[in-house]
A and B are shown apart, each in its own frame.
Chain A
Amino acid sequence: MIRDITIGQYYPADSLLHRLDPRVKISGTLLYIISLFLVKNLWGYLAAALVLAAVIRISKVPFGYIIKGLKAVIILLLFTVCFNLFLTSGTPVFEWKFIRITKEGLYLAFSMAVRLTLLILGSSLMTFTTTPNELTDGMESLLSPLKKIHVPVHEVAMMMSIALRFIPILLEETDKIMKAQQARGADFETGGIIKRAKAMIPILVPLFISAFRRAGDLAMAMEARCYHGGAGRTKMKPLHYHRRDGLAWVAMAAFVALIIASRKF
């Protein structure tokens, strides 16, 4: 079940988007999300959707693969649509007993659905085209001004990349523990939600113990390899801006201008 989540996964391919600097992609995604909230009318959404479709084409990530990422949030999407549809007051267009749909509600539900969909597709496109390491490197570099106010930016980035490395290891371990307990008669498959949740506790305890032991070992191994925080560290793969990154910035500025212009219609 945890393995099914495609958000945050990397899709290896050789495209312009894959080669872009991670900092550009992170800021671009942020800009895209912000501009989605600037949209006022249908033209804006159409522009945003078309631009995203074009970028997906450039990325060479199969369209169906990206859509799969929506599955994980379909419940959230339905919730927002229902809430907006039924709970917005205004001029009614449809009334039956206690159900009342208003014109304003219809519009709001529609725009929220489009907004959320585009937002999720846009941000998952970023993770599909950026390796986890590039992502942490990019974040570290973008957030580095915060170091001045003593935010441990390097440490947080290091924690993120270590977490990414250990996710598959801990998943494997969970599997092993579950099998070991099933072999001794534990039951994880029958019963209601509460019973199943209770059955998970005996898995969590050994999992946590082993995770702590691993953390201790890893800390020792890192110290033995002279790790002493971000100060005085060099990079094996430093980030460099290229011409294509500059062009991407120009394209992004044009997009924001387009969205702002669409508000006038």
Chain B
Amino acid sequence: MSMLNSDNLTFEYIRRDEEGNVESITKALDGVSLEIKKGDFVAILGHNGSGKSTFAKHINAILMPTEGTLYVDGMDTREEEHLWDIRQRAGMVFQNPDNQIIATVVEEDVGFGPENLGVPTEEIWKRVEESLKAVGMYEYRTHSPNKLSGGQKQRVAIAGIMAMKPQCIVLDEPTAMLDPNGRREVIRTVRELNRREKVTVLLITHYMEEVIHADKVIVMDDGKIVMQGTPREIFSQVEKLKSYRMDVPQVTELSYELKRAGMPLPDGILSVEEFVEACGRLRQSGGFGE
């Protein structure tokens, strides 16, 4: 079953002058076609202005396609009557943790989504407890969000989405404003939700380290999908990635350079452990050529 299915999705930002004449048209999305299966962890990478956030906003029906279609769990996002269904099924976490927390107490914020859906009071409490436990923020339920760290706030925001029982979570650069610790915290939480609760995750980011555990990586540039595949497939094409102004994880870059300098290392090394292992094998086989 596919969770998301987009066909030739195009979105244009139209800028008009004072008389309403079209001044310029910017294609933020240009013929994006992709399919995301239920339960997958998919990462979208892209430089600023590559259209990745615009795509995310389509999934939640905040933006409507200019051309093409997008189906969320089989529902067309352009059909008004599905609007709330779509938003319940595909929850969205935004970049700035401060600007998406509504209540002055953590548990009340997590309850905001279910309240809007008209869930009965007892069920709300159950859901709030479950989702706060799922993100490891249960001990903070009576705290004020202002006193939490960025990573904790972002986990509260994720809990707020989980309490709506979505099938898919879209995270639009959730770690862009966090410190390295907060980033790790959030990514670990998201991976666990994907594994344990089988939620489909669509992670939009420009940090390479965050995508190495994804099932699938999509690279966007200038509103188009330019690369698609497993993290290993993507990161073995260092040259191509660089042409889209993207960096690769440090260890991947190191092994790429070493290979270019003549060391017979495999392509697409993603972690330090892998690198150490590959070097060890090389040494045993005398590949260092002493």
- Identify the A interface with B (CB < 8 A): 131-133, 161-162, 164-165, 168-169, 214, 217-218, 220-228, 232-238
Bound: A8/B115 CA distance, A = 27
Return the contact of B108 from the options A214, A218, A227, A237 (Cβ within 8 A).
A237
Interface readout for B137-165 with A: 1 if CB under 8 Å, 0 if not? 00000000110000000000000110010
Query: In the assembled complex, how far is the CB of residue A141 from the closest CB belonging to chain B, in whole angstroms?
Result: 15
Asked if B3 is an interface residue, CB under 8 A from chain A, the answer is no
Binding-face segment, B17-25, B117-125, B277-285 = B117-125
Known A224-B94, A232-B118; further 19 A-B contacts with Cβ < 8 A? A131-B104, A133-B105, A168-B146, A169-B146, A214-B96, A220-B94, A221-B94, A221-B99, A224-B60, A224-B91, A225-B161, A228-B116, A234-B115, A234-B118, A234-B119, A235-B115, A236-B108, A236-B121, A236-B128
Asked if B71 is an interface residue, CB under 8 A from chain A, the answer is no
Bound: A64/B176 CA distance, A = 46
Asked if B65 is an interface residue, CB under 8 A from chain A, the answer is no
Return the contact of A225 from the options B99, B107, B113, B118 (Cβ within 8 A).
B113
Bound: A146/B271 CA distance, A = 62
Give every chain B residue within 8 A of A232 (Cβ-Cβ).
118
Is B99 in contact with A218, judged by CB distance below 8 angstroms? yes
In this complex, which of B92, B99, B103, B114 has the most chain A Cβ atoms within 10 angstroms of its Cβ? Answer: B99
Is B87 in contact with A236, judged by CB distance below 8 angstroms? no
Is B118 in contact with A224, judged by CB distance below 8 angstroms? no
Give every chain A residue within 8 A of B62 (Cβ-Cβ).
220, 223-224
Main secondary structure of the interface of A (DSSP, over half): helix
Give every chain B residue within 8 A of A169 (Cβ-Cβ).
98, 146
Is B104 in contact with A225, judged by CB distance below 8 angstroms? no
Give every chain B residue within 8 A of A164 (Cβ-Cβ).
104
Bound: A155/B161 CA distance, A = 22
Q: Which 6 A-B pairs have the closest CB atoms?
A: A221-B100, A236-B111, A217-B99, A226-B116, A225-B113, A224-B92
Give every chain B residue within 8 A of A227 (Cβ-Cβ).
112, 116
Asked if B101 is an interface residue, CB under 8 A from chain A, the answer is yes
Enumerate B162-206 residues with CB–CB distance to A below 8 Å: 164
A217-B94 contact given A133-B108, A226-B113, A236-B108, CB 8 Å threshold = yes
Q: Considering only CB atoms and an 8 Å cut-off, how many residues of chain B contact the other chain?
A: 38
Asked if B102 is an interface residue, CB under 8 A from chain A, the answer is yes
Return the contact of B87 from the options A214, A218, A224, A234 (Cβ within 8 A).
A224
Is A225 in contact with B87, judged by CB distance below 8 angstroms? yes
Main secondary structure of the interface of B (DSSP, over half): helix
A225-B116 contact given A214-B98, A218-B99, CB 8 Å threshold = yes
A222-B102 contact given A234-B115, A236-B115, A238-B121, CB 8 Å threshold = yes
Bound: A200/B99 CA distance, A = 25
Return the contact of B124 from the options A131, A222, A236 (Cβ within 8 A).
A236
Return the contact of A218 from the options B91, B100, B117, B160 (Cβ within 8 A).
B100
Asked if B288 is an interface residue, CB under 8 A from chain A, the answer is no
| 23 residue pairs bridging A and B, Cβ less than 8 Å apart | A132-B104, A133-B103, A165-B103, A165-B145, A169-B146, A217-B99, A221-B92, A221-B99, A221-B102, A223-B62, A224-B60, A224-B91, A224-B92, A225-B161, A226-B84, A234-B115, A234-B118, A235-B115, A236-B107, A236-B108, A236-B121, A236-B128, A237-B108
Is B91 in contact with A234, judged by CB distance below 8 angstroms? no
Give every chain A residue within 8 A of B99 (Cβ-Cβ).
214, 217-218, 221
Query: In the assembled complex, how far is the CB of residue A13 from the closest CB belonging to chain B, in whole angstroms?
Result: 15
Give every chain A residue within 8 A of B164 (Cβ-Cβ).
225-226
Asked if B50 is an interface residue, CB under 8 A from chain A, the answer is no
Return the contact of B118 from the options A222, A223, A233 (Cβ within 8 A).
A233
A161-B103 contact given A168-B146, A221-B94, A233-B116, CB 8 Å threshold = yes
Bound: A137/B94 CA distance, A = 27
Is A226 in contact with B117, judged by CB distance below 8 angstroms? yes
Give every chain A residue within 8 A of B160 (Cβ-Cβ).
225
A225-B112 contact given A162-B102, A169-B146, A217-B100, CB 8 Å threshold = yes
Give the residue name and chain of the A residue nearest to B170 (CB): A224
Give the residue name and chain of the B residue nearest to A237 (CB): B108
Is B115 in contact with A133, judged by CB distance below 8 angstroms? no
Asked if B5 is an interface residue, CB under 8 A from chain A, the answer is no
Give the residue name and chain of the B residue nearest to A219 (CB): B99
Give every chain B residue within 8 A of A165 (Cβ-Cβ).
101-104, 145
Asked if B6 is an interface residue, CB under 8 A from chain A, the answer is no
Is A234 in contact with B102, judged by CB distance below 8 angstroms? no
Query: In the assembled complex, how far is the CB of residue B98 from the closest CB belonging to chain A, in whole angstroms?
Result: 6
A235-B102 contact given A168-B146, A225-B113, CB 8 Å threshold = no
Is B104 in contact with A226, judged by CB distance below 8 angstroms? no
Bound: A169/B148 CA distance, A = 12
Give every chain A residue within 8 A of B107 (Cβ-Cβ).
236
In this complex, which of A162, A214, A223 has the most chain B Cβ atoms within 10 angstroms of its Cβ? Answer: A223
In this complex, which of B96, B107, B116, B145 has the most chain A Cβ atoms within 10 angstroms of its Cβ? Answer: B116
In this complex, which of A161, A164, A226, A233 has the most chain B Cβ atoms within 10 angstroms of its Cβ? Answer: A226
Asked if B88 is an interface residue, CB under 8 A from chain A, the answer is yes
